[in-house]
Structure 1
Amino acid sequence: MKLEIGNFNVKDVVFGNKTSFKDGILTINKDEAIRFIKKDEHITAVDLEIAKPGDNTKIVPIKEAAEPRIRPDGRSTFPGVTGEVEMAGSGRVHALKGCSVLGVGMHYGSFGDGLVDMSKEGAKYTLFSELINICIVADTDEEEERFEQQKRNTAIRIATHKFAEYLGNTVKEMEPEEIETYELAPIVKRKEDLNKLPSVVLVMQPQSQMEIMGYNARVYGWDMNKYIPTFMHPNEILDGSNISGSFMPSSSKWSTYDLQNFPTIRELYKEHGKSINFLGVIMSNLNVSLEQKKRSSIFVAQMAKSLGADGAIVTEEGYGNPDADYILCLRALEDVGVKTVGISNEATGRDGASQPLVSLDEKADALVSTGNVSQLIELPPADKVIGDLKALSRDGLSGGWSYDENLGPSVREDGSVIMENNAMFCGDRIAGWSIKTMKEF
């Protein structure tokens, strides 16, 4: 399969008379865009805001992010979500780089929502402070979940995907500034010199623990709670086959933007033919019961062994209960002779002294940490808030609180914030973006 991603570098985003892209400037007709978003009858109120790197702006509660893209051949950008189910991973897709569409709650937040600070201290914690963010700030008629801590946020999340495709239309007929090409030969038909290199597979564990449908990550529109580990071509993931779910503390998430640009996949491609033979992706899941967890680890290990993998990278979306799936998978791979490295964040408590993962095993001896979800972060007041800052302390966002006997409220009267890293939107960059380093004391 051969995938071409045609890139258009966005230097600025502005509101104007016509939605278009020219000379690096993405212009959006705000009224027309809002009418497009409100075609979904579940969106009851919506506004559009633009946040740029360096702005003294906080954005919260953020529910989803996607990169604006379009397929020149007319196929949907997110098959099974914004259009018909069709195979992703081949052909041409056009991408607006340097910007994202963020789905933001106008009033109500939930457990899995997060915050982005576009400047100062907070900017270093999340990739999205480096992007120009086009924010859909919306309210919905999803009354049954309005005051629930866990929300599907379906209307806002799907609006994010549809609007990303809407903006992608601005470059549908244009010639890209650069083209990235991703191609792998069939595994059994690779050249001898490639087969002599160590063979590596990437194992991905998206969030799929909610047994009630609608909260989990999706693959080709299919809820991944009803899924078993499957071999996928890495191009499929880069090309919109998977979208993010709503369930998981925010710093531990893979947004859809992360999946579209998954840096661990990109790094494996860079090394393919040089230091490794990149076999592809085993798309696994995260489960509820121990039996389900063991079953998935067996599937993963068998596939990796049958594919001829010498090594594997395993990365999980989340922490806590998912750690059991993560460690079982690492052990199962090691048991069949596949040398394995894990990538995850950890939950070592505010003092950094707690056990980092819920489950551990002596065979999980090569682990990469992307940060501590419980790390306390203090942020100064912002000149502007997009969304509702009070949601951080009011609505059960993981990492925020209404009152703590030692720390007081998460959102202070002057607009400054104290929170756990848990609430930083995709803050631990588990997809592979992380710039954090380890220090020994």
Structure 2
Amino acid sequence: MSITNETAKFLKDDPGKKDGSLSDGKAIILDIKEGRNIHIEMPTYGIPAENTASAALGRADVSNGDTAGEQSEEYSQDRVRRTLKNYAFPVKDVKIGDKTSFDNGVLVVRKSLIQEALACNELIADVNMDVITPDHQDVYVNTMMDVQPIAVKKEGELGEGSTFEMTGVYMLLTGTDEDGLQTAEANVSNGIYEDNVWWGRPGAPDKDAFIVHVDVTIKKGTGMERPGPLASHQAMDIVTQEIRKVLKEKEIEDADKERLYEEIDRPNKPRVLLVKEIMGQGAMHDNLILPDEPCGFLGGRPNVDLGNVPVFLRTNEVRDGGIHALTCITPDTKEASLLYWREPIVKRLAEDEEVNFLGVLFVGSPQANEEKFYVSKRVGATIEAMNIDGCIVTTEGFGNNHIDFASHIEQIGSLGIPVVGVSYCGVQGALVVGNKYMDSMVDLCVSEDGNVEDILAKNSMTPEAALRAVTMMKNKIAGVKINAAPKKYNGSLIEENLSLAQEVCR
């Protein structure tokens, strides 16, 4: 019987046989001629276990002949863990009217919904709603708090069954308080809508899409506390939920397109994980995890209330709207709910036949350093138990959250796991903390001067950044040396790395 790698580790300091076998490969023989009160304990590694849990785990049972070979071969094959079907319903026009309906591609949203939204929370002072059309985007909007898809579960829970999605239309939440203070933490994106969106980003609405625009005014002085922005999201969800109801009434036969999302177990490929650090400092830094409806409000658990500890979401749970983003940080680095809905790294890893993508570990970023290191150690403990071969860690924004971002990478790297970090850095967000494991970083900054800008999604995650991150992780897994980055921000390096990645990956 051949000794496995793990057995070889055990045998390193063992003075016994090291020729690749144990006795005759089936038993340890002890001859005791005479004795009394004898107690013997011996390691059993390397000995075939004929009736153990190995068969249950899909490993070959060496005592079962041909059947064992069949079991081993079956376990080594790719298999679909679970599936999700997404049905697209194109929207050709959006209007405000007396009754919410969706017929022949025309969405009508009931105007009186704003009264129900106004009454849903005592912190709400006013609600307004209008439609921004693709041919009339030169309109003023307050700071953009979130962009959301319109989708509903037709069957099953998040991550399984079937989901109906309206395409060509998004929900846009904007807001201020009664004193006119924009509901944002730092920079703001209020201004002319078409000038303040970086089109083509996964977290930004599409240029040719209709926008159901809900503007919420909250009580003065509540913009920098958790209940205020939360009330704004609650108000908009009143509108969205009624749209979801009319969408759910449609039949599968009415859909324009069907997309199948598969979670595939590839047991012979490197096990990889995506760790996404999400804001959790309180105030307007919060997110809702696993709501009842895609990117919805009801049923979602705030990661702040969960203690910001790591929460694992399956791949399809993320792709099915498992995160509702409440965060109001600098608009260009902001990850809106729409970005999680079509997260580029998740998409690339899920479709990559060279890796076994396990899913996404979300971890909140607390305010206090003591709490940061607490949750970071939980990240390390969780990943150690998952026995992965490679990892990507991302974070939105910059500054305070870079402390635990760096700690996550250290926790993972210290386990001997190849890890790549992804964040906006540039000049303004340059890392002020670091460790020896932060040798492979992907910068999301595309601003020429390296500074943040008041443009929604400009310096946020893109398919191109995802390509660079995944390629770098695969290089590290393969043992390829990653060259050191220059000490100052250099935008041309991003283009060079992208070109190199595109040469070998498509």
Q: Do Structure 1 and Structure 2 share a fold, with TM-score over 0.5?
A: yes
State the one-letter code of the partner of 1:250: P
How far apart in 2 are the matches of 1:262 and 1:98? 18
How far apart in 1 are the matches of 2:350 and 2:191? 30
Match among 379, 389, 393 for residue 300 of structure 1: 379
State the identity as a percent: 19
State the one-letter code of the partner of 1:109: Q
1:346 matched to 2:431? The reply is no
How far apart in 1 are the matches of 2:192 and 2:347? 27
The equivalent of 1:242 in structure 2 is: 323
How far apart in 2 are the matches of 1:296 and 1:136? 35
Match among 183, 203, 218 for residue 110 of structure 1: 183
The equivalent of 1:201 in structure 2 is: 273
SS of residue in 1 equivalent to 2:242: helix
How far apart in 2 are the matches of 1:108 and 1:121? 18
- Tell me if structure 1 keeps the 8 A contact 2:197–2:457: no
Match among 187, 205, 211 for residue 128 of structure 1: 205
How far apart in 2 are the matches of 1:204 and 1:331? 15
- Tell me if structure 2 keeps the 8 A contact 1:96–1:168: no
SS of residue in 2 equivalent to 1:145: coil
How far apart in 1 are the matches of 2:191 and 2:92? 20
Q: Deviations over 1:367-401 (max 9, x none)?
A: 2211168959xxxxxxxxxxxxxxxxxxxxxxxxx
Unaligned runs of 5+ in 2: 1-81, 291-299, 469-489, 496-506
The equivalent of 1:359 in structure 2 is: 433
1:162 matched to 2:235? The reply is no
How far apart in 1 are the matches of 2:279 and 2:431? 16
Closer, same or farther: CA 208–374 of 1 in aligned 2, 3 Å:
farther
SS of residue in 2 equivalent to 1:314: strand
Question: 1:151: Cα distance to partner?
Answer: 7.8
How far apart in 1 are the matches of 2:453 and 2:384? 35
Q: TM-score, normalised by structure 2?
A: 0.64
1:139 matched to 2:217? The reply is yes
State the one-letter code of the partner of 2:267: N
The equivalent of 2:492 in structure 1 is: 439
Closer, same or farther: CA 121–103 of 1 in aligned 2, 3 Å:
closer
- Alignment size in residue pairs: 367
How far apart in 2 are the matches of 1:323 and 1:368? 14
State the one-letter code of the partner of 1:439: S
The equivalent of 2:145 in structure 1 is: 63
SS of residue in 2 equivalent to 1:253: coil
The equivalent of 1:277 in structure 2 is: 356
Question: 1:93: Cα distance to partner?
Answer: 1.8
Deviates more, 1:322-331 or 1:229-238: 229-238
The equivalent of 1:403 in structure 2 is: none
| Structure showing greater Rg | 2
SS of residue in 1 equivalent to 2:279: coil
Mapping for residues 63-82 of structure 1, pairs under 5 Å: 63-73=145-155
- Tell me if structure 1 keeps the 8 A contact 2:198–2:455: no
SS of residue in 2 equivalent to 1:100: strand
- Tell me if structure 2 keeps the 8 A contact 1:111–1:150: no
1:98 matched to 2:168? The reply is yes
- Tell me if structure 2 keeps the 8 A contact 1:321–1:358: no
Unaligned runs of 5+ in 1: 76-86, 350-354, 377-419
How far apart in 2 are the matches of 1:287 and 1:121? 29
Q: TM-score, normalised by structure 1?
A: 0.73
Q: Deviations over 1:334-386 (max 9, x none)?
A: 2212211222112513xxxxx7222233421222211168959xxxxxxxxxx
State the one-letter code of the partner of 1:32: S
How far apart in 1 are the matches of 2:448 and 2:454? 9
